[in-house]
Structure 1
Amino acid sequence: MTRFILFLFLILNSLSLKSQLYKPLDTADYAQRKVFIKTYTAENELYIKDLKNRYPGKTGQELAKIYKEFETDFVTQVKNKDFIFNSALDADVAALIIKLRKNNPNIPQKLKVLIAKDNAPNAYCLADGTFVINLGLFNLLENDDQLASVIAHELGHKMGEHVLRDIVGFINQDKMDKITVQNIKSDRLNRNKKAFDVLKIRLYRKGIEKRKNEMRADSLGFVLYRKTDFSKTDFVNALQNLKKYDTISPVPVKLETYKKYFSLPSQEFKDKWMKKEDFSAYDYKAFKAKINEDSVASHPEIPERVAKLQKYFTELKTTAPPAPSSESFKKAEHIARMEILPNFFHAEEYGLGIYTSLQFLQENEETKYYENWLGKCFAKIYEGRKNYTLNRYLDRIDPKDQSESYQQFLNFMWNLSLNEIKTIADYYQNKKS
Structure 2
Amino acid sequence: MKFRLLHFVVFFVFMHTFAQYKPIDTADYAQRKEFLNQLKTKNETLIKSLKSRYTGKTGRELEKFYREFYKDFEKEIKDKDYSFNSNFKIKLEKILLNLKKKNPQIPDNLNILVAKNNTPNAFCLGDGTFVVNMGLFNVLDNEAQVASVLSHELAHYLLDHTLKSLVNEINEDKDSRSIMENLKKVSVNKSKKAFDIVKDNLYKKRGIKRKREVEADSLGYVLFRNSDYENTEFYNTLSNLSKYDTISPQELKIETYKKLYNLPNQPFKDSWMTREDSGNYNYDHYKVKLNKDSLSTHPELAQRMEFITKQFAELKNKKEAKKGDEEFAKLKNTARMEVLPNLWHSEQYGRGIYAAMQFLQDKEEENYYHEWLGKLFDKIYTARKNYNLNRYLDRIEPKEQSESYQQFLSFMWNLNLAEIKNIADYYNKKGAS
Range of TM-score over shorter length: 0.7 to 0.9
Structure 1 pair 44/7, CA: closer, same or farther in 2 (3 Å)? closer
Cα distance in 2 for residues equivalent to 1:6 and 1:204: 20
Cα distance in 2 for residues equivalent to 1:427 and 1:96: 46
Cα distance in 1 for residues equivalent to 2:343 and 2:372: 10
Shift of residue 166, structure 1, vs aligned partner: 0.6
Shift of residue 17, structure 1, vs aligned partner: 3.0
Task: Tell me the TM-score normalised to structure 2 length.
Answer: 0.87
Query: Cα deviation per residue 1:346-397 (whole Å; 9 max; x = unaligned)?
Result: 1111111101100101111121111111111111111111111111111112
2:320 corresponds to: 321
Q: Structure 1: which amino acid aligns with 2:157?
A: K
Structure 1 pair 283/405, CA: closer, same or farther in 2 (3 Å)? closer
1:275 corresponds to: 274
RMSD over aligned Cα atoms: 2.2
| Matched ranges for 1:129-278 at <5 A | 129-174=128-173, 177=174, 206-278=205-277
Contact 2:148–2:233 (CA<8 Å) still a contact in 1? Answer: yes
Unaligned runs of 5+ in 2: 177-200, 287-295
- Equivalent residue of 1:165, what SS? helix
Contact 1:103–1:227 (CA<8 Å) still a contact in 2? Answer: yes
Cα distance in 2 for residues equivalent to 1:178 and 1:330: 50
Unaligned runs of 5+ in 1: 180-201, 288-296
Matched, 1:373 2:390: no
Structure 1 pair 121/426, CA: closer, same or farther in 2 (3 Å)? same
Number of residues of Structure 1 aligned to a counterpart in Structure 2: 396
2:11 corresponds to: 11
Contact 1:211–1:299 (CA<8 Å) still a contact in 2? Answer: no
- Equivalent residue of 1:133, what SS? strand
- Equivalent residue of 1:115, what SS? strand
Query: Cα deviation per residue 1:298-351 (whole Å; 9 max; x = unaligned)?
Result: 845212101111121111111001123022211110111011011111111111
Q: Structure 2: which amino acid aligns with 1:257?
A: T
Cα distance in 2 for residues equivalent to 1:247 and 1:428: 34
Contact 1:156–1:218 (CA<8 Å) still a contact in 2? Answer: yes
- Equivalent residue of 2:114, what SS? strand
Structure 1 pair 325/358, CA: closer, same or farther in 2 (3 Å)? same
1:106 corresponds to: 105
Contact 1:207–1:298 (CA<8 Å) still a contact in 2? Answer: no
Shift of residue 107, structure 1, vs aligned partner: 0.3
Shift of residue 208, structure 1, vs aligned partner: 1.2
| Matched ranges for 1:87-126 at <5 A | 87-126=86-125
| Matched ranges for 1:393-404 at <5 A | 393-404=392-403
Contact 2:5–2:247 (CA<8 Å) still a contact in 1? Answer: no
Contact 2:89–2:113 (CA<8 Å) still a contact in 1? Answer: yes
Structure 1 pair 83/286, CA: closer, same or farther in 2 (3 Å)? closer
Cα distance in 2 for residues equivalent to 1:95 and 1:326: 15
Q: Structure 1: which amino acid aligns with 2:6?
A: I
Structure 1 pair 24/360, CA: closer, same or farther in 2 (3 Å)? same
Q: Structure 1: which amino acid aligns with 2:152?
A: H
Shift of residue 15, structure 1, vs aligned partner: 2.3
Shift of residue 401, structure 1, vs aligned partner: 2.8
Cα distance in 2 for residues equivalent to 1:284 and 1:20: 41
Cα distance in 1 for residues equivalent to 2:91 and 2:37: 24
Runs of 4+ aligned residues of structure 1 deviating over 6 Å after TM superposition are 202-205, 284-287
Query: Cα deviation per residue 1:179-199 (whole Å; 9 max; x = unaligned)?
Result: 9xxxxxxxxxxxxxxxxxxxx
Query: Cα deviation per residue 1:243-297 (whole Å; 9 max; x = unaligned)?
Result: 101111111111221122112222121121112222253356899xxxxxxxxx9
Contact 2:5–2:249 (CA<8 Å) still a contact in 1? Answer: no
Cα distance in 2 for residues equivalent to 1:298 and 1:340: 19
Contact 2:8–2:119 (CA<8 Å) still a contact in 1? Answer: no
Contact 2:118–2:342 (CA<8 Å) still a contact in 1? Answer: yes
2:53 corresponds to: 54
2:389 corresponds to: 390
Contact 1:140–1:242 (CA<8 Å) still a contact in 2? Answer: yes
Query: Cα deviation per residue 1:125-166 (whole Å; 9 max; x = unaligned)?
Result: 222212211000000111100000000000000000001011
Structure 1 pair 70/329, CA: closer, same or farther in 2 (3 Å)? same
- Equivalent residue of 2:19, what SS? coil
Shift of residue 56, structure 1, vs aligned partner: 2.6
Shift of residue 7, structure 1, vs aligned partner: 7.3
Structure 1 pair 393/298, CA: closer, same or farther in 2 (3 Å)? closer
Cα distance in 1 for residues equivalent to 2:87 and 2:204: 41
| Matched ranges for 1:310-349 at <5 A | 310-349=309-348
Q: Structure 2: which amino acid aligns with 1:427?
A: Y
Structure 1 pair 311/237, CA: closer, same or farther in 2 (3 Å)? same
- Equivalent residue of 2:132, what SS? strand
Query: Cα deviation per residue 1:227-251 (whole Å; 9 max; x = unaligned)?
Result: 0111111101110111101111111
Contact 2:245–2:299 (CA<8 Å) still a contact in 1? Answer: no
- State the identity as a percent: 53
Structure 1 pair 341/156, CA: closer, same or farther in 2 (3 Å)? same
Structure 1 pair 125/144, CA: closer, same or farther in 2 (3 Å)? same
Structure 1 pair 6/40, CA: closer, same or farther in 2 (3 Å)? closer
2:357 corresponds to: 358
1:77 corresponds to: 76
Cα distance in 2 for residues equivalent to 1:284 and 1:248: 19
Contact 1:277–1:411 (CA<8 Å) still a contact in 2? Answer: yes
